[in-house]
């Protein structure tokens, strides 16, 4: 799951529970998740530092890091991407009991980011842990990612992303939609055009705006573009508020036999912009 709303939830979790904790060790040995870094490279760069700020643009997160010890020179930026199935789990500091760390009691609560829906992973399940920051206080920040399409990397390129979908202005949106022949859904999914719209949010916004996902961007009238801009921002904001991209009005109807929640027409299914797409053939024109 993650689209922008789930990533924002993960960012907020890091902000709430992951900042200012000294990094004592790092498990960066998953060569898929940490590509193109080699095992030990991220560990070497981060041990002794702490995360200081958690940022997000679209579906990409990145954290600033502190200097080591008393050094004021900041460390590298830690980029985090949840891919298609990633989650962030942050566990609290452990309180050392009189007989040592073995009988610690947790202080505070485990904080999660990413898709909030329940899943099958058993408590204590670690096989999907792809990257871990072990804090000096005994807690940790873990990136879980069954599908291994997430990415952890130092100093990620953020400037290649388009404006964030939550805050994109209508002027920026017009520029993005002004050129080319791509289907409008494909353009919405292009992270260098607009950052943060994934497959579900794209279907939801196009349905809200009553625009056929196949329409070439150049064929959109100015009123279509302004309507779509509003629909994108509203759909993303509502999904952030409600807890995920799956909360959209049309999303639960994206299945064989599913009908348009407004007019009852059976939704059509196809591939647009390389992704599975559902739309109302009567209203989306």
Give residues in contact with DNA (CB under 7 A).
Answer: 1-3, 6, 32, 58-60, 81, 83-84, 115, 117, 119-120, 146-149, 151, 179-183, 186-187, 189, 191, 198-200, 217, 244-246, 271, 273-276
Minimum distance of DNA from residue 242's CB (angstroms): 13
| Least distance CB 102 / DNA (angstroms) | 31
Beta partners for residue 54, in sequence order: 63
- 3-class secondary structure, 151: strand
The minimum distance between CB 75 and DNA, in angstroms, equals 22
Enter the tokens of residue 135. Answer: 């804090």
Closest CB to DNA among residues 21, 151: 151
User: What is the phi/psi pair of residue 41, to 5°?
Assistant: -65, -50
Instruction: Write down the least CB distance from residue 212 to DNA, Å.
Output: 14
Nearer to DNA, 73 or 271 (CB): 271
User: Helices 222-242 and 199-209 meet at what angle, rounded to 10?
Assistant: 130
Q: List C-alpha distances in Å: 51 to 13, 138, 283.
A: 13, 15, 48
**Minimum separation from the CB atom of position 274 to DNA (A):** 4
Nearer to DNA, 52 or 129 (CB): 129
Give the residue with the Cβ less far from DNA, 44 or 181: 181
**DSSP annotation string for 174-234:** HHHHSS--SBHHHHHH-TTTSBS--HHHHHHHHHHHT--TTSBGGG--HHHHHHHHHHHHH
Q: Which CB, 11 or 187, lies closer to DNA?
A: 187
Between 69 and 256, name the residue whose CB sits nearer to DNA.
Answer: 256
Q: How far is the CB of 20 from DNA (least distance, A)?
A: 28
Please answer whether residues 59 and 4 qualify as being in contact, where contact means their C-beta atoms are separated by less than 8 angstroms.
Answer: yes
What does the alpha-carbon distance between residue 177 and residue 159 come to, in Å, rounded to a whole number?
Answer: 19
Q: Among all chains, which residue has been given the structure tokens 């020179």?
A: 73
């Amino acid at each position: 799951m993650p689209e922008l709303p789930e990533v924002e939830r993960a960012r907020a979790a890091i902000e709430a529970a992951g900042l200012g904790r000294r990094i004592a060790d790092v498990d960066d040995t998953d060569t898929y998740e940490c590509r193109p870094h080699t095992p030990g490279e991220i560990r070497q760069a981060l041990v002794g530092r702490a995360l200081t700020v958690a940022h997000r643009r679209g579906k990409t997160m990145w954290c600033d890091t502190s200097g080591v010890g008393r050094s004021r020179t900041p460390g590298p930026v830690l980029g985090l991407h949840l891919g298609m199935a990633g989650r962030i789990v942050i566990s609290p500091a452990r309180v050392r009991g009189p007989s040592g760390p073995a009988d610690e009691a947790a202080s505070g609560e485990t904080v999660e980011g990413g898709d909030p829906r329940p899943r099958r992973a058993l408590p204590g399940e670690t096989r999907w842990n792809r990257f871990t920051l072990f804090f000096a206080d005994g807690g940790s920040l873990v990136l879980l990612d069954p599908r291994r399409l997430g990415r952890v990397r130092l100093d990620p390129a953020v400037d290649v992303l388009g404006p964030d979908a939550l805050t994109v202005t209508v002027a920026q949106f017009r520029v993005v939609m002004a050129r080319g022949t791509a289907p409008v859904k494909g353009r919405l999914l292009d992270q260098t055009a607009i950052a943060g719209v994934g497959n579900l949010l794209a279907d939801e916004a196009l349905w809200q705006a009553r625009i056929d996902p196949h329409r070439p961007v150049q064929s959109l009238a100015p009123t279509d573009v302004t309507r779509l801009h509003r629909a994108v921002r509203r759909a993303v904001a509502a999904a952030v508020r409600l807890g995920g991209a799956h909360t959209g009005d049309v999303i639960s109807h994206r299945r064989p036999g599913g009908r348009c929640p407004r007019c009852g027409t059976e939704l059509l299914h196809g591939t647009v912009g390389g992704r599975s797409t559902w739309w109302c053939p009567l209203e989306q024109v």
